[in-house]
Amino acid sequence: MARIEIIDDDLELAEDLAVILRNAGHRVDVRDGTEGAVSDLVSARPDLLILDVMFPENPAGGFDLAREIRGTPEIGDLPIILLTSINQEFPMDFSTRDIDPEWMPVQDFAEKPVSAKVLLEKVDRFLRRA
């Protein structure tokens, strides 16, 4: 059983994802914003983070949080999956090819809405590596 954190301002979606992950045997915590997330992540020490990109207070909040996590020694190696609808909101065509240690320091990228099957495959892949 892994400990997974979901950070997404769409709490309904986040709770739906949490149910899927809990049914797969994981412990899941959900939060709806990035403020204070780093200190909470340091305390909680999750095995995986599922992170939205756009937040009402900061349209690039997920990118900013991912960079802050990478600069925090206690959680700098935390696997992060970006789960976002940014490509539906803006014509930017973000994908896994944009993953970069400086700009988008995450391990994977998935579009909302994500199917349960795809979500579980991605989560299982990163938890096996840990």
Give Rg (Cα) of the chain. Answer: 13
The residue extents of the domains of the chain are 3-129
pTM higher than 0.75: yes
CATH class of 3-129: alpha beta
**Amino acid residing at 99:** I
pLDDT tens, N- to C-terminus, the chain (130 residues): 899 999 999 999 999 999 999 999 999 999 999 999 999 999 999 999 999 998 999 988 999 999 999 999 999 999 999 997 754 555 556 555 555 666 568 888 888 889 999 999 999 998 887 6
| CB-based burial label for 79 (10 Å; 0-12, 13-18, 19+) | buried
